[in-house]
A and B are shown apart, each in its own frame.
Chain A
Amino acid sequence: MLKYIAKRLVQSVLTLFIIITIIFCLLRLMPEEGYLGAGYDKMSEVQKESILTEMGLRDPVPVQLMKFYRGLLHGDFGTSWIYRPNVAITEILADKAPISIRMGLMAMGISLVVGIPLGVLMTRFKGFIPDKLGMGFVVLVMAIPQAVYHLFIQTYLTDFFGLPMLFKEANPMSWILPTVSLSLYNTATFALWMRRYMVDELNKDYVRLARAKGVKNSVIMASHVFPNAFVPLIQTIPTLILSTAMGSIYVESLYSVPGMGGLLVDVIQRQDNAMVQALVLIYAALGIIGLLLGDLLMGLCDPRITFAEKGGAR
């Protein structure tokens, strides 16, 4: 087990290294006028050159890369260029991350508490009204672009329930709608997959055997079908938790939540390369950690899965 984790971690570091290098090189392809801001037209060539040289953009790309890696090894993400000039990136994140994480975790809690029972309910009444209603909800949330339904939820539900339109950290009422909106997609995902895995399990022979023995339906569901159907689902949960905790651009921009959901888009548009690199590193690292945690969780929940290497397969 430890050997497996160590191997995965080494692989992950390598993957991160390659991802960062690719993104770093891609970022150097961005048009140069973006770095200079609004005063671009009025600057002389000499001014432009001096600004770009100061940013380190005139060094050859490998030199820039080495500098960046050296900083990373010292635990230094660098400082922002344009977003908030010369402020350490860790400091910017420390301002913005907590609110996204708090909202994301709450939304995830709602998704788990609502989504999984919904999936079970849909399986229990497969083909009847609860199933159809649930499926309708899933289809609407999955198929309609998020930008659209978040917008309508904000406009109509704030009126309907008399909730505040904009987010204020001190006002708990203003947390309700953003958190619920944020949780919708994951709720639908959980319900859909829970139902699908449970229906798959229900058709298996051991369930038929249990039925033939006269085991009660509720017992079959609770002690046979649910645990087996939950194992493949549990693999995706860590990734979803981590990605939800990073915030959503739609929800945060609509309710003006000061989180980090829109941060990436923002800094890419302002060509704040230092921030983009740091954020990509964080997102990719979280993605990899999520996958690793998911695999480990699955191993913990299902005794049939071992991490020892099997020789000679295939």
Chain B
Amino acid sequence: MKKFLDGPVDELTESITETIAGDAFTFAEYDESAGEKVAWTDYSYWGSTFRMFFKNKMAVALLLLLAAILLFTFIQPHLPGQRPATLINNDPNTGLQLMNIPPNDEFLFGTNSIGQDLWSMVWSGTRTSLLIGLAVACSEIVIGITMGVLWGYVRQLDHLLTTIYNIADNIPQTIMLILISYILRPSMSTIILAMCLTSWLKMARFIRNQIVIIRDRDYNLASRCLGTPTWRIILKNLLPYLVSVMMLRIATTIPEAIGNEVFLTYIGLGLPVAIPSLGNLINSGRGLLMYESLRYQLIFPAVVLSVVTVSFYIIGNAFADAADPKNHV
């Protein structure tokens, strides 16, 4: 190419006629169907997303670990030789409670101060905490996306919703959590409700800001001019753009919800003691930290809790990175 541009024209034509023999080429035939062919790439959004995600070895390992933990919390009560989590174990000979037994073959995580099996309690507590986290995350997606889309897309609602947001956001979240769980008496549904009422705000604002930015881009304008119904624009044009942002929010919501449960228990408004949860376990283990021989009662639930929350956080971040088309090759 460079030679073609630099060299004098006469020399070039000469050299071309020299090198090309007359019978090396034939005329292409006119093929009507070839004109109908459309160029395409084999790029698929979800395909690339998952390919990027599976490149991240750490996240995949944690995902497997988390899936295993989730599965195990549900299987564990049905395994042979397991004790119910709330059962108070008595010594068969003396009838006394098996209090504060350090971890051994029979009680893998030991027993607590009234003889309950910590192994069962930890797994059943993990189940409770995961359920709370997932329920809050699901409701946050539904409420947050609905409100965010309405807020960003419907101009008449913009002013009203902005005012509501400014008010709700300035009430400290702690106060809402405490007041709601106080007024409605502690139970699983109260805790979930209290967290749902406060957590959707951030998601809604995220979605709203993004939608305001991309709502009037040319491709959406084009869709609207072509008569695409609004719901279809939202579902097909706007929301897929936001997958990575949403994943990031969800990834932080679940650890936050689990942490909030611990917080509510810490201040005495958590689940009743009859329902084992990681918050309950950590709260009752808190007082025992001073006694070195009893520390296992706090360490086991704390380690499981940390593994679960850290895994969610890392997986979510990895998935959010993978879901961002800017990172696709």
Contacts and interface: CB of A to CB of B under 8 A. Distances in A.
Q: Which label, helix, strand, loop or mixed, suits the secondary structure of the A interface?
A: helix
Contacts of A163: none
A314 B170 contact: no
A288 B167 CA distance: 10
A227 B178 CA distance: 40
A152 B285 CA distance: 12
Contact of B182 (A146, A152, A268): A268
Contact of A27 (B179, B258, B266, B305): B179
A166 to B, nearest CB: 12
A280 B172 contact: yes
Interface string B249-271: 00010010011001100111100
A11 B262 CA distance: 36
Given A264-B175, A280-B175, A145 B305 contact: yes
B124 interface: no
A36 to B, nearest CB: 16
B43 to A, nearest CB: 21
B302 interface: yes
B255 A287 contact: no
Chain A interface size band reads: 35 or more
Contacts of A154: 289
A155 B290 CA distance: 7
B166 interface: yes
B267 A265 contact: yes
A147 B282 contact: yes
Given A139-B313, A143-B312, A284-B171, A26 B179 contact: yes
A72 interface: no
Contacts of A143: 255, 306, 309-310, 312-314
Contacts, number: 103
B171 A22 contact: yes
Contact of A26 (B183, B212, B269, B290): B183
A250 B179 CA distance: 19
Interface string A272-288: 00001000100110011
B286 interface: yes
B266 A147 contact: yes
B196 interface: no
B174 interface: yes
Contacts of B263: 145-147
Interface string B286-303: 100110000100100010
Interface of A: 11, 15-16, 18-19, 22-23, 26-27, 29-30, 139-140, 142-148, 151-152, 154-155, 249-250, 264-265, 268-269, 276, 280, 283-284, 287-288, 314
27 contacts: A15-B167, A18-B167, A22-B171, A23-B179, A139-B314, A143-B312, A143-B314, A144-B306, A144-B310, A145-B305, A147-B266, A147-B282, A151-B282, A151-B286, A151-B298, A152-B302, A155-B289, A155-B295, A264-B172, A264-B174, A265-B267, A280-B171, A280-B172, A284-B170, A287-B170, A287-B172, A314-B216
